[in-house]
Amino acid sequence: MSDIQRIYHENIEPKLESLNVRRKALQNHYFIAILGIVGTILLIVILANSGVGILLLPVIGLVVFVVIRFIKISRLSKEYRADFKANVVAEIVKAVNPSWTYEPDNMIGQEVYWQSDLFRTKYDRYKGDDLVKGVIEKTDFECSELHTEYKEVTYDSKGRRRERWVTIFRGLFFHADFNKEFMGRTYVSPDVAEKMFGKFGQKFQKFTGPAPLVKLENVEFEKEFVVHATDQIEARYILTPTIMEAILRIKQQYNTQVHFSFVGSRVYCALSINRNLFEPKIFGQVVNLSEIENMYSLFKVNEVIIHELNLNTRIWTKE
């Protein structure tokens, strides 16, 4: 905690003044744009009720004014975000580990997402940012924010088409070298069915999931997670008592739904977090110490997973 406070006061706080100037300028442009929209609506109403009809010239003038204002807002928002990433988020990543690479506008590739096989619903929109990659002792990793969605189309009783975007996954997505070539695939997912439906949920688990169900001896682990695997023996070989305890600690530490898969020679992890994680605020303080602590904790997940799963010990060798 003292290290985070030092980082905040020494490396980040001095840069917040210039960010605040950008934020206030952006706020002013938003307020002016809103006034322009309200003024346009009022003008249309007044002219329409006056009996003289709508005079196009003043209305068009206000519309052009609002459009130009929003173009400026878009440009200022990009500049403000870029400054925030460079002066705040990059400093936090450097504080966690100065050897890591941080790419604010990059993300984990779609091929990695599919290779993990964690979420098998076909997506129509794939977004992400804040890619961090590096090596912790002997283990290479990548981590980024991801948001995948599919488009749901429905029709009401009058045949009118309606669309809505449904989230498949939103949060932090991580993968790292496990230093073993797996013959099968092992999946660890939140145990939603059993918590909701009890023993009926246990039966439901057998017929759902990407592979046959695996029952393990760790009672606490079984309460929180359900395991499916194409190879029962390999799944037990991977999910040792130490690894199960580590996965439980990761879930408890981040207090969210956690998915794991062990595929190929890598471990994949998805932490569900339903909000933007490393973005600046336009209304309110740019960032405070509590938010810095939260960002630090999220980037620290890379070290937490690698150390908790003991990936640097190299107890296995790749065949």
Distance CA 222, CA 188 (A): 10
What is residue 227's predicted lDDT score, i.e. its pLDDT? Answer: 93
Q: Identify whether the C-beta of residue 201 lies closer than 8 Å to the C-beta of residue 223.
A: no
Q: How far apart, in Å, are the Cα atoms of 106 and each of 60, 85, 103, 133, 144?
A: 39, 12, 5, 11, 8
Give percent of the chain with pLDDT exceeding 70: 89
Mean pLDDT of the chain: 86
CB distance 210 to 185 below 8 Å: yes
Residue 21 CB-density burial (10 A; 0-12 exposed, 13-18 middle, 19+ buried): exposed
Mark the ranges of the chain whose per-residue pLDDT is less than 50: 196-197, 200-201, 319
Alpha carbons 27 and 77: distance in angstroms, whole number: 10
The span from the CA of 55 to the CA of 48, in Å, is 9
Distance in Å from the first CA to the final CA of the chain = 42
List, in sequence order, the alpha helices (H) in the chain.
Answer: 2-7, 16-49, 56-84, 90-96, 110-116, 192-197, 199-207, 219-224, 232-238, 241-254, 289-299, 301-308
Q: What is the pLDDT of residues 32-85, one digit of tens each?
A: 888 888 888 887 777 767 655 556 667 777 788 888 888 888 898 999 999 999
Residue 283: the pLDDT is: 85
Beta-bridged to residue 21, according to DSSP, are none
Cα–Cα distance between 35 and 42 in angstroms, integer?
10
Could you give phi then psi for residue 158, rounded to 5 degrees? -95, 5
Among 275, 276, 294, CA closest to 8: 294
Cβ atoms within 10 Å of 104's Cβ, excluding its own: 18
The 10s digit of each residue's pLDDT in 126-151 is 999 999 999 998 899 999 999 999 99
- List the structure tokens of 114: 């599919």
Token digits for 236? Answer: 């037990």
d(CA 312, CA 124): 37
Q: Which two tokens stand for residue 141?
A: 């990793």
The answer to whether residues 55 and 48 touch, using CB atoms and an 8 Å cutoff, is: no
Burial of 118 (0-12, 13-18, 19+ CB in 10 A): buried
* pLDDT value for 193: 54
Which pLDDT does position 138 carry in this prediction?
Answer: 86
Contact criterion met (CB below 8 Å) for 268 and 261: yes
Give the span between the Cα atoms of 167 and 156, in whole angstroms.
22
> Regarding beta strands 161-177 and 186-190, do their DSSP bridges make them parallel or antiparallel, or are they unpaired?
unpaired
**Residue carrying structure tokens 């695997």:** 229
